């Protein structure tokens, strides 16, 4: 069973296959996709809001000839206490693949444990693996191979930061994280990646992280499920990605953000809308990687 839950469970070779397919699909789309997934249905369960993940997956499976069913948790019996396991068993009888956006990563693992069809991680509190595929694809289409590049993460040690740490190990790039000392990434993920030889540093200085970087990445200071407290926001003083910070990276450095952005908080308008920003390509690439993930999960590549 090919679940796509966590890059750590996917071989480097399969990640390359998925990324190469995404690149091919981006070109192929201009000619019209073939309907490789005709008759296939993807169920998408959302515990939290989504724009990019919801729309890119629905368009992806539709353009491949299949169909998506979008399910908000509270519209399901899941919202009234039916278990994740029973939901997995039932949806597996109707659908060919399931995608879940969940608060707790444990819910995703439970869904995958009981589903008899592939399960895709559409974001949890721990990881956002589909987003990382789009991010790597975007870096590589602008700068060539990500191997050996210096990536700077500035901001929260959240699901995206954890995903970048895993990617640094799998894709052999250097990752310099700057996070407030109270908001660091998952310690197990970080120490395991470093123990396996990944080139990763964690500090509290955005300037040090960004110095000479090929790519500067940030994300919201308040993720879905976080308490939007003043104390939390205060911890990010000095962590805004603005023109002064970008000036310390390489002159042609890219700026990435998985979006949604909170303009004027973690990033300024001039950076987000500026020449170094690749965020709209990054968002578009979600569509192409989603197709590749679906094709991989369903054994078509």
Q: Which residue has the tokens 């660091």?
A: 184
Peptide bond preceding 260: is omega within 30 degrees of 0, i.e. cis?
A: yes
> Residue 15 binds which entry of ligand NVA, ligand CP, none, with Cβ cut-offs from 5 to 8 Å by kind?
none
128 annotated active-site: yes
Instruction: Please give the Cα distance from 3 to 294 (Å, whole number).
Output: 10
Binding piece for ligand CP, criterion CB under 6 A, among 47-55, 169-177, 181-189, 191-199: 47-55
In 3D space, the residue among 138, 110, 121 whose CA is nearest the CA of residue 10 turns out to be 121
Binding piece for ligand NVA, criterion CB under 6 A, among 25-33, 39-47, 182-190, 215-223: 215-223
Instruction: Please give the Cα distance from 105 to 24 (Å, whole number).
Output: 31
Assess 258 for contact with ligand CP (CB under 6 A). Answer: yes
Assess 220 for contact with ligand NVA (CB under 6 A). Answer: yes
Tokens of 40: 């296939």
Choose which of 87, 121, 131, 290 interacts with ligand CP (CB under 6 A): 131
The active-site residue out of 258, 288, 290, 297 is: 258
What 76-85 contacts at long range (C-beta under 8 Å, 24+ apart), as own/partner pairs, is: 76/45, 78/45, 84/110, 84/111, 84/114, 85/110, 85/113, 85/114
- For every residue of 225-277, DSSP letters joined together read TS---HHHHHHTTT--B-HHHHTTS-TT-EEEE-S---BTTTB-HHHHTSTTB
Assess 218 for contact with ligand NVA (CB under 6 A). Answer: no
258 annotated active-site: yes
77 annotated active-site: no
Binding piece for ligand NVA, criterion CB under 6 A, among 2-10, 153-161, 195-203, 238-246: 153-161
Binding piece for ligand CP, criterion CB under 6 A, among 146-154, 162-170, 253-261, 265-273: 253-261
> Residue 90 binds which entry of ligand CP, ligand NVA, none, with Cβ cut-offs from 5 to 8 Å by kind?
none
Q: Can you list the alpha helix ranges (DSSP code H) found in the chain?
A: 12-28, 52-63, 84-94, 105-114, 129-143, 159-171, 187-195, 206-210, 230-235, 243-246, 269-272, 279-297
Instruction: Please give the Cα distance from 210 to 212 (Å, whole number).
Output: 6
Instruction: Draw the binding track, 99-138, toward ligand NVA (x: CB under 6 A; -: no contact).
Output: ------------------------x---------------
Assess 51 for contact with ligand CP (CB under 6 A). Answer: yes
199 annotated active-site: no
> Residue 51 binds which entry of ligand CP, ligand NVA, none, with Cβ cut-offs from 5 to 8 Å by kind?
ligand CP
Assess 98 for contact with ligand NVA (CB under 6 A). Answer: no
- The count of chain residues that interact with ligand NVA, using the rule CB under 6 A, is 9
130 annotated active-site: no
Question: What's the min distance (Å) between Cβ of 244 and ligand NVA?
Answer: 24
Instruction: Please give the Cα distance from 96 to 1 (Å, whole number).
Output: 12
Binding site for ligand NVA (CB under 6 A): 123, 158-160, 219-220, 223-224, 258
- Positions that interact with ligand CP (CB under 6 A): 50-53, 123, 131, 258-260
């Amino acid at each position: 069973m090919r679940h796509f839950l966590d890059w750590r469970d996917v071989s480097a070779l399969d990640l390359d296959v998925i990324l190469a397919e995404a690149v091919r699909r981006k070109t192929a789309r201009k000619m019209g996709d073939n309907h490789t997934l005709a008759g296939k249905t993807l169920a998408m369960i959302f515990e939290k809001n989504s724009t990019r993940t919801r729309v890119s997956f629905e368009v992806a499976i539709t353009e491949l000839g299949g169909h998506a069913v979008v399910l908000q948790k509270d519209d399901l019996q899941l919202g009234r206490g039916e278990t994740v396991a029973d939901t997995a068993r039932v949806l597996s009888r109707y659908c060919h693949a399931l995608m879940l956006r969940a608060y707790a990563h444990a819910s995703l693992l439970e869904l995958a444990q009981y589903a008899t069809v592939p399960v895709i991680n559409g974001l949890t509190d721990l990881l956002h693996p589909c987003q990382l595929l789009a991010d790597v694809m975007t870096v590589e289409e602008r700068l060539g191979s990500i191997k050996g590049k210096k990536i700077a993460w500035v901001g929260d040690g959240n699901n995206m930061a954890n995903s970048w740490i895993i990617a640094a190990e799998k894709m052999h790039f250097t990752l310099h994280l700057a996070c407030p000392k109270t908001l660091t990434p998952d310690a197990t993920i970080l120490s395991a990646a470093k123990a396996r030889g990944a080139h990763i540093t964690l500090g509290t200085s955005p300037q040090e992280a960004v110095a000479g970087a090929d790519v500067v990445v940030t994300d919201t200071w308040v993720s879905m499920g976080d308490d939007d407290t003043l104390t939390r926001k205060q911890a990010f003083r000095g962590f805004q990605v603005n023109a002064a910070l970008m000036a310390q990276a390489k002159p042609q450095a890219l700026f990435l953000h998985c979006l949604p952005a909170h303009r004027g908080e973690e990033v300024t308008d001039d950076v987000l809308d500026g020449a170094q920003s690749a965020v709209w390509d990054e968002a578009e690439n979600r569509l192409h990687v989603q197709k590749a993930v679906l094709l991989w999960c369903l054994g078509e590549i």
